[in-house]
């Protein structure tokens, strides 16, 4: 996968690293509770059947958003379909932070999830997350861009104008909401958080967007797919913010299961993702606003290599507590 021309490559200038894939992967380690005997960088399904779990109710969580109730309705057709395929009751579990979502899976309270781009590596390493799907457009293409936005009368027209101003991030585990923009600002513009600009953390992309629109923040780093959906739902006006930077594309939310679900159940869940008919559903209405129209198969090793490389450039440690 091609690195971001103006973001990742610049981050790598600041922190030299070996570009060979084997060297990068060798540094990515799972928590000691998990095994990776096949080298795919995700936790193996336990070989001992006594370690498998087969719950009567499957718990699903989507990446944190400002109003989880909206997405409970959006995901209902899909979860109803999954219930039919698996023969299980499927329940939507609203989460308010990436950390809470990861902890829920690590502790066994969450079985199926969509983790945002930046938190996928931590979920894989610390929670036994096994991602296998991602949303894509009808032609199979996928991705979103990181944008830095501001409100029209802020006086901020370019990244250099962020000096002395407040820039909202989402959470430290977010790729477009923190890792990529921080790397860009430090490596290419010599802007350091806390020294050259004031960082703030909103908790979610929609919070950051609304914060800029309402002028609570001077600027924010966001995933533009979220902004597109908010515009389509008439939550915000497209003229209420300006974009001063747009990256190349990143992979989107990764969907998968916890490692120790019964293997047959894991396979049925995969079938549910790839057999779901989006046409005429609330899923199609919501996610078509940012271009998505289907689930496609992915691997963490291949599709998240650029994200792991950003993490490595920034010195991110996957410490599991």
Q: pLDDT tens per residue, the chain (321 residues)?
A: 333 334 443 333 333 322 333 344 546 889 999 999 999 999 999 999 999 999 999 999 998 876 777 899 999 999 999 999 999 999 999 998 889 999 999 999 999 999 999 999 999 999 999 999 999 999 999 988 999 999 999 999 999 999 999 999 999 989 899 989 998 899 889 999 999 999 999 999 999 999 999 999 999 999 999 999 999 999 999 999 999 999 888 899 999 999 999 999 999 999 999 999 999 999 999 999 889 999 999 999 999 988 888 888 777 878 787
pLDDT of residue 25: 55
CA distance 130 to 273: 14
For residue 49, give every residue at least 6 positions away whose Cβ sits within 8 Å of its Cβ, in sequence order, or none.
none
Check: CB of residue 265 under 8 Å from CB of residue 86: yes
Tokens of 153: 């009368």
User: What per-residue confidence (pLDDT) applies to 318?
Assistant: 81
C-alpha neighbours within 13 Å on the C-beta side of residue 171: 22
Which of these, 109, 83, 129, 110, lies nearest to 254 by C-alpha position?
129
Q: Which of 85, 128, 89, 122 is nearest to 258 (CA)?
A: 128
Is residue 172 within 8 Å of residue 178, measured between CB atoms?
yes
**Burial classification of residue 83, based on how many CB atoms lie within 10 Å of its CB (0-12 exposed, 13-18 middle, 19 or more buried):** middle
pLDDT of residue 16: 30
Contact 66, 210 (CB under 8 A): yes
Would you state the pLDDT for residue 278? Answer: 97
Predicted local confidence at residue 4, as pLDDT: 39
CA–CA gap between residue 144 and residue 87 (Å, rounded): 34
């Amino acid at each position: 996968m091609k690195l971001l021309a103006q973001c990742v490559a610049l981050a790598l200038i600041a922190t030299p690293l070996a570009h060979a894939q084997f060297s990068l992967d060798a540094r990515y380690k799972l928590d000691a509770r998990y095994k990776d005997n096949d080298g795919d960088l995700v936790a193996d399904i336990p070989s001992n059947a006594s370690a498998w779990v087969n719950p009567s109710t499957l718990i699903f969580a989507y990446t944190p958003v400002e109003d989880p109730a909206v997405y409970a309705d959006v995901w209902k057709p899909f979860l109803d379909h999954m219930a039919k395929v698996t023969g299980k009751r499927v329940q939507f579990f609203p989460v308010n932070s990436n950390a809470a979502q990861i902890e829920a899976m690590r502790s066994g309270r969450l079985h199926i999830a969509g983790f945002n781009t930046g938190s996928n590596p931590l979920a894989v390493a610390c929670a036994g997350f096994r991602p296998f799907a991602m949303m894509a457009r009808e032609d199979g293409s996928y991705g979103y861009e990181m944008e830095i936005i501001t409100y029209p009368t802020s006086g901020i027209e370019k990244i250099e104008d962020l000096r002395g101003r407040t820039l909202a991030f989402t959470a430290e585990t977010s790729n477009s909401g923190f890792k990529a923009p921080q790397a860009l600002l430090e490596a290419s513009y010599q802007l350091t958080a806390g020294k050259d600009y004031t960082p703030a953390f909103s908790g979610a992309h929609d919070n950051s967007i609304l914060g800029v629109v309402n002028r609570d923040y001077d600027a924010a780093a966001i995933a533009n797919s979220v902004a597109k959906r908010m515009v389509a739902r008439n939550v915000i006006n497209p003229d209420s913010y300006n974009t001063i930077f747009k990256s190349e594309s990143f992979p989107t939310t990764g969907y998968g299961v916890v490692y120790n679900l019964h293997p047959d159940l894991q396979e049925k869940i995969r079938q549910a993702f790839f057999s779901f008919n989006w046409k005429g559903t609330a899923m199609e209405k919501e996610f078509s606003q940012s271009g998505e129209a289907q689930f496609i198969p992915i691997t963490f090793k291949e599709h998240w290599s650029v994200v792991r490389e950003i993490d490595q450039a920034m010195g991110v440690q996957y410490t599991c507590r």
